Amino acid sequence: MTLGIILVCVNAALWVFFFARFSRRFSPEAMLQDLREEVDKLILENNRTTDRNVTLIEARIRELQALIEEADRRTPRFAAPPPQPTVMAEYFSAGLPMGGADSVKPPDTRVEPPQEKSVRDRVAEYAAAGMSPERIAYELSVSLTEVQIYLSVV
């Protein structure tokens, strides 16, 4: 019987000890404190990683700027466009008879840009050719209503 009482007392003492220990360990305050510490560690780690990445990016930017400056320094800058051939150079390269610089005129190399027709004119042309308003709208990439307005004016 003494042994039974001793075991009950030891059992009760262990229950009280572990209950107190687990209540402190798993209390809401203790769990919040553990969470705060873990979050603080994560924030610190993220800040370190961010600082390292920013430092790497800034170093790359400096390297690229140095490369651009080196390329600019090596690349000659053209202040003026290359010289155009003179009238005399064209005269001699064309093999024309000698007659003076006044008799040689440089060839007219200007190209006139094609005159684009307005949408209204093209609608009139397509309608005269017998196209339906839907087809005209499709061909000109305009709305059917716009084509109908142009056709009512024509």
What is the structure's pLDDT at 86?
62
- The full set of domain ranges for the chain reads 2-74, 118-154
Q: Is 20 exposed, middle or buried (0-12, 13-18, 19+ CB in 10 A)?
A: exposed
What is the structure's pLDDT at 38?
95
Write down the H helix ranges in the chain: 2-25, 28-74, 87-94, 119-128, 133-140, 144-153
Among 35-44, 74-83, 145-154, whose mean pLDDT is lowest? Answer: 74-83
Question: Mean pLDDT across the chain, nearest whole number?
Answer: 81
pLDDT tens digits along 87-118: 555 555 555 555 555 555 555 565 565 667 88
